Chain A
Amino acid sequence: AQSVAQPEDQVNVAEGNPLTVKCTYSVSGNPYLFWYVQYPNRGLQFLLKYITGDNLVKGSYGFEAEFNKSQTSFHLKKPSALVSDSALYFCAVRVNRGNTPLVFGKGTRLSVIA
């Protein structure tokens, strides 16, 4: 069975500073990994994904994530945080076969302070 761990419930960062939101995963086989962002009372917006190829993936709004197979991690990063980045971030995984659903981490709330 697949699982995702986001060890931090809350991450606080000052505007302009780099941010990291952590994610580790467990899956049988090769994973497809995703990051989504959720604003209050809204659905999830896709940020980026890792399927294969380069371990560093770049996505929307200046976010990027690094796939580390040995550490089974897929941490989300941004070089310079904005106040508007404040939201709830979800890491998700699915196996690379069939039309299987995503399995989500519990989410990490990011607060960027001006």
Chain B
Amino acid sequence: GAVVSQHPSWVICKSGTSVKIECRSLDFQATTMFWYRQFPKQSLMLMATSNEGSKATYEQGVEKDKFLINHASLTLSTLTVTSAHPEDSSFYICSARDPGTQMNTEAFFGQGTRLTVV
């Protein structure tokens, strides 16, 4: 199946700093990628839809100025957590679907990024 790579796998940062997470589609081009956040022992909550060449679409309650999304190319979307605080500590996962195939295909997920803000 298609491969989605996410980097870094884990990161520890100090409060007030910014952290960038990359999501790459390795063997296909993705005009749309999705960013999810997962709290411990909870489900994945959609944060935003990343659209290549245009602004991301954020879910209700997600601060767009805090979680900056850039989708500058067909294979790369980035999520930047700005001015991070301990409550931003979480597991962040991206996903994408190969648009070259039929619309009924499954989404593929990156391996996730464990962010810890201290």
A: residues with CB less than 8 A from B are 32, 34, 36, 41-46, 49, 51-52, 90, 96-99, 101-107
Contacts and interface: CB of A to CB of B under 8 A. Distances in A.
A101 B6 contact: no
Interface string B71-92: 0000000000000000000010
B111 interface: yes
Nearest to A91: B43
Given A43-B111, A99-B97, A102-B107, 20 more contacts: A32-B104, A34-B107, A41-B9, A41-B10, A42-B111, A43-B109, A43-B112, A44-B93, A44-B109, A46-B1, A46-B106, A90-B43, A99-B31, A99-B103, A101-B34, A101-B49, A101-B95, A102-B34, A103-B46, A107-B43
Contacts of A45: 109
B116 to A, nearest CB: 12
26 contacts: A32-B104, A34-B107, A41-B10, A41-B91, A41-B112, A41-B114, A42-B111, A42-B112, A43-B93, A44-B44, A45-B109, A46-B106, A49-B106, A51-B104, A90-B44, A96-B103, A96-B104, A99-B103, A101-B34, A101-B49, A101-B107, A102-B95, A102-B107, A103-B46, A106-B42, A106-B43
B99 interface: yes
B46 A101 contact: yes
Given A44-B93, A90-B43, A34 B106 contact: yes
B35 to A, nearest CB: 9
Contacts, number: 58
B1 to A, nearest CB: 7
Interface residues of B, number: 28
A43 B107 contact: no
A10 to B, nearest CB: 10
B15 to A, nearest CB: 22
A3 B95 CA distance: 19
B25 interface: no
